[in-house]
Amino acid sequence: MRDDANALHALILASLDDDQAVETVSIPLAGKSSIADYMVVASGRSTRQVASMAQKLAEKIKAEFGQSPRIEGLPTADWVLIDAGDVIVHLFRPEVRSFYNLERMWAFGDGPGGTA
pLDDT at 103 over 70: yes
How confident is the model over 82-101, as pLDDT tens digits? Answer: 999 999 999 999 999 999 99
Query: Where does the chain show beta strands of DSSP type E?
Result: 22-28, 38-43, 70-72, 79-83, 87-92
- Give the pLDDT band (50/70/90) at residue 81: very high
Q: Looking at the structure, give the CATH architecture of the domain made up of residues 3-105.
A: 2-Layer Sandwich (3.30)
pTM higher than 0.85:
yes
Nearest to 50 by CA among 90, 77, 25: 77
pLDDT at 113 over 70: no
In this prediction, residue 1 carries a pLDDT of 53
Q: Kindly provide the b/e burial profile for residues 55-85, where b requires at least 16 CB atoms within 10 angstroms of the residue's own CB.
A: eebbebbeeebeeebebebbeebebbbbebe
Q: What percent of the chain has pLDDT over 90?
A: 78
- Between 63 and 102, whose confidence is greater? 63
Element housing 104 (H / E): helix 102-105
Q: What percent of the chain has pLDDT over 70?
A: 91
DSSP bridge partners of 41: 25, 90
